[in-house]
Amino acid sequence: MFDFNLTTIIANIPALMIGFAFHEFAHAWVADRLGDPTPRSQGRLTLNPFVHLDLFGTLMALLYRFGWAKPVMTNPHYFRGDKRRGQMLVAVAGSVMNLITAFVLMFLWFLTMLGVQASEWSGIISLVFQSAVLMNLGLGIFNLLPIPPLDGFAVLSGLLPVRFAPQLRIIEQYGMIILIILLFTDIFGKVLSPAVIGIFYTYQKIISLILTPFLG
């Protein structure tokens, strides 16, 4: 569903910058730790969001709630140890980082609101934090879907036996078509929204349990 609400779009700008920057940095950092110099040589080992943003992918994310950043280029031949395992680790790193970032942002959101809840800016601050949390949760879960070219497909490829490689290559050829069809039929929204909301409320409960002893 497209969202042309100006306030929401403005709140989503910092959310996107954080979400995409941390997601792509995680890919680059894990690849670098595994011995691949490619991300570092291309300047991707940074949290500067402007290095990672893709113009069209960013606009799609702002308006459609699903988008993408510039993919981090890696060369698995440099990976130390098992190459397939290395590819899986690099692929899953982005989503794991988004889920961790969402938790940290929600924790900061709770703490910030304790100090500004009586302020006239509290509504705007809350909206920015909420957008950032939901954006990171959405990016994290969305990218775990086993559909090419999403990270989840690379994870699936690493988990399946090598004998399935020909079938996976066939699926990969039609990945973007499958992705576009699913996006515009709102199937993703029906599948991902419950997952995002479920994790959102789980995080809320965990953070409430952590902070309650200090607020009594």
Neighbours of 102 (CB within 10 A): 27
Residue 132 CA to residue 135 CA, distance in Å, equals 5
Q: State the number of CA atoms in the 13 A half-sphere of 49 facing the CB.
A: 11
Neighbours of 28 (CB within 10 A): 27
Residue 101 CA to residue 23 CA, distance in Å, equals 9
Question: 193: exposed, middle or buried (C-beta count within 10 Å: 0-12, 13-18, 19+)?
Answer: middle
Q: State the number of CA atoms in the 13 A half-sphere of 177 facing the CB.
A: 5
The answer to whether 137 touches 98, Cβ cutoff 8 Å, is: yes
Clarify whether 172 is annotated catalytic: no
The catalytic residue among 24, 32, 36, 151 is 24
Helix (H, G, I), strand (E, B) or coil at 69: strand
Q: Which helix (H) or strand (E) holds 106?
A: helix 83-116
Q: Which residues are catalytic?
A: 24
